């Protein structure tokens, strides 16, 4: 039963055994490295943190781009709105000028000539004597304020 192999077959069998042993060692080494990597919780945590940072950077960049687009859109709409408001204000101003001119014409039509002449004369005198007129108006305002303050102090006593 125990037959000794011939020398040629033994050398081949030994070579095959050595190759199998080397192959088994390589597989065992890879398996040990894989198990060591799985057992290295610190390295795994570091990889997860790095992945989370990359994901956060991508999300942040997307948010910045969206915010910039939204800002540009708001600025554009604001500029359009401002243009519309200016146009509407110009139209309203023109309408008010027309109505004021119509009202002025109507007042001049309905007001008797002697009253218009007197009003024109009073306006001319006021324009010619602005300084005394302004001084008189200031004196009247001062008098009214003084009178009001005296009344308010008298009522509190």
% of the chain beyond a pLDDT of 90: 48
Tell me the average pLDDT of the chain: 86
CA triple 108-132-139, angle to 5 deg: 105
Give the global pTM.
0.39
Spatial contact of 43 and 37, defined as CB atoms under 8 Å apart: yes
Identify which of 72, 49, 53, 71 has the alpha carbon closest to the alpha carbon of residue 61: 53
Asked if pLDDT for residue 12 goes beyond 70, the answer is no
Spatial contact of 29 and 35, defined as CB atoms under 8 Å apart: no
Question: Phi and psi dihedrals of 4, rounded to 5?
Answer: -85, 130
Distance CA 13, CA 4 (A): 12
Express each pLDDT in 95-133 by its tens digit: 999 998 998 888 878 888 888 788 888 888 888 888 988
Asked if pLDDT for residue 11 goes beyond 70, the answer is no
Asked if pLDDT for residue 53 goes beyond 60, the answer is yes
% of the chain beyond a pLDDT of 70: 90
The whole-number pLDDT of residue 2 equals 52
Q: What are the start-end ranges of the H helices in the chain?
A: 7-39, 41-110, 113-128, 130-156
**C-alpha distances in angstroms, 22 versus 14, 27, 33, 97, 157?**
12, 9, 16, 104, 116
Express each pLDDT in 18-47 by its tens digit: 899 999 999 999 998 888 877 888 888 888
């Amino acid at each position: 039963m125990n037959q000794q192999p011939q020398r040629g077959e033994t050398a081949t069998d030994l070579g095959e055994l050595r190759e199998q042993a080397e192959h088994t060692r390589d597989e065992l080494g890879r398996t040990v490295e894989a198990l060591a990597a799985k057992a290295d919780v610190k390295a795994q945590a570091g990889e997860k943190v790095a992945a989370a940072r990359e994901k956060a950077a991508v999300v942040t960049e997307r948010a910045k781009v969206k915010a910039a687009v939204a800002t540009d859109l708001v600025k554009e709409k604001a500029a359009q709105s401002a243009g519309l408001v200016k146009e509407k204000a110009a139209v309203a101003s023109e309408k008010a000028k027309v109505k004021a001119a119509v009202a002025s014409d109507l007042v001049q039509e309905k007001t008797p000539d002697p009253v218009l002449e007197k009003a024109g004369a009073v306006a001319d005198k006021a324009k010619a004597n602005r300084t005394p007129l302004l001084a008189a108006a200031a004196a009247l305002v001062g008098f009214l304020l003084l009178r009001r303050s005296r009344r308010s102090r008298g009522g509190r006593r």
